[in-house]
Amino acid sequence: MGGNYYLAVLLAISVNNVLLAACFEGPHCFNFTWPTTGIEEKNCTKHNERNPHTPCMTPYESAVKPNTTKLWEDAQTNSSLTKFFCPLEDDNVCIRYTYNYNGAIANVSYFCGKVVEDRTLPVTSGCYSQRTDGFTIEACVCQTRGNNMPCNTAIRSTCTILIIIMATAASLFIYKIL
């Protein structure tokens, strides 16, 4: 009896994922800028005049940071929301570019694009940050697979490094025991 329950849940989840993917053919990324509240730049023309080196996509006007999971689900039945997505081409990645000030998001942009390290190496996953003029700028990249929900985020590289260090320490510890 218990096995049938789990099978029913698994089938419901599988059917739900198929239905959600019906509106989008192939992998996509989110494609919008959330300018936060209190920012007067509600269009990219004004934003780009004041911030020429900061990405700006179709503004998503909301008092709170959009819930990307809900946006993805709502876009499956509301075609007017598809403007907040871009198709992921083979040589591109999904990018989330965030400006933080004093621990709070000043603005965040999601888009399709390319990230290159040291002008030669394509970056396909991870988060990278730097501090400048009181802001912490973070860029996270990933690749959406199939018709799944767009990723536009990644595990921070510091977590990956910590996992590698822990795995190395554990293997050295096991080696010492043997």
Residue 96 domain boundaries = 24-169
If we measure between CA atoms, which residue out of 27, 36, 46 comes closest to residue 102?
36
Whether the Cβ atoms of residue 74 and residue 46 lie closer than 8 Å to each other: no
Residue 112 falls inside a structural domain: yes
The residue count of the chain comes to 178
**What is the distance between the alpha carbons of residues 115 and 123, in angstroms, rounded to a whole number?**
5
Residue 103 falls inside a structural domain: yes
Residue 88 falls inside a structural domain: yes
Strand residues in 20-162 grouped as ranges (E) = 28-30, 32-34, 85-87, 93-101, 104-113, 116-117, 121-122, 126-132, 135-142
Each residue of 84-94: pLDDT tens digit? Answer: 999 999 889 99
Q: What is the pLDDT along the chain (178 residues), one digit of tens a residue?
A: 444 433 333 222 333 333 344 467 899 999 999 987 655 556 788 878 887 888 889 889 888 889 999 999 999 999 999 999 999 998 899 999 999 998 889 889 999 999 998 888 999 999 999 998 889 999 999 999 888 999 976 544 444 444 444 444 444 444 445 5
Amino acid letter, 4:
N
Each residue of 96-136: pLDDT tens digit? Answer: 999 999 888 988 999 999 999 888 899 999 999 999 888 99
Residue 149 falls inside a structural domain: yes
Domain count for the chain: 1
**What is the distance between the alpha carbons of residues 30 and 132, in angstroms, rounded to a whole number?**
26
